[in-house]
């Protein structure tokens, strides 16, 4: 018999910084304290309007929405289950943010370590 071991990849300084940015972004979005759709204060989740894979908008606060778990993923009428419903909700409740996201979502941004650090410091300044 042989012992199976997992190989863990070392997290690079860049990945560590991106993880810190993700955590800070989520913290700020959740600090709204209630679901933006229902007003509920229970089971809150941070939601990226344009998916996290979009590096241009990943840490942009206008790309975030505080939702309870139902309006995030669990209900049939939720951000992940019914994108048409969610886009209509954005049109009615956050039209400026929706217009901004549509305008910039295809811009390409090359994040350097310096620009990632600057973004992190910008987000940290918002929570002080």
Contacts 24+ apart (CB under 8 A), 15-23: 17/113, 17/116, 17/117, 17/120, 18/116, 20/120, 21/58, 21/59, 21/116, 21/119, 21/120, 21/123, 22/52, 22/58, 22/59
**Domain assignment of residue 9, yes or no:** no
**Domain assignment of residue 20, yes or no:** no
**Domain assignment of residue 61, yes or no:** yes
**Domain assignment of residue 114, yes or no:** yes
pLDDT of residue 8: 65
**Domain assignment of residue 16, yes or no:** no
pLDDT digits (tens, 9 = 90+) for 58-115: 999 999 999 999 999 999 999 999 999 999 999 999 999 999 999 999 999 999 999 9
**Domain assignment of residue 8, yes or no:** no
């Amino acid at each position: 018999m042989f012992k199976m071991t997992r190989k863990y990849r070392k997290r690079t300084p860049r990945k560590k910084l991106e993880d810190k940015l993700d955590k800070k972004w989520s913290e700020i979005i959740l600090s709204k304290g209630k679901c933006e759709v229902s007003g509920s204060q229970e089971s809150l989740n941070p939601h990226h309007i344009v998916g996290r894979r979009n590096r241009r908008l990943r840490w942009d606060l206008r790309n975030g929405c505080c939702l309870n778990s139902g309006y995030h993923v669990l209900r049939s009428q939720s951000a992940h289950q019914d994108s048409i419903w969610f886009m209509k909700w954005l049109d009615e409740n956050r039209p400026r943010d929706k217009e901004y996201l549509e305008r910039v979502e295809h811009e390409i941004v090359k994040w350097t370590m310096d620009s990632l650090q600057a973004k992190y410091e910008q987000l940290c300044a918002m929570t002080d």
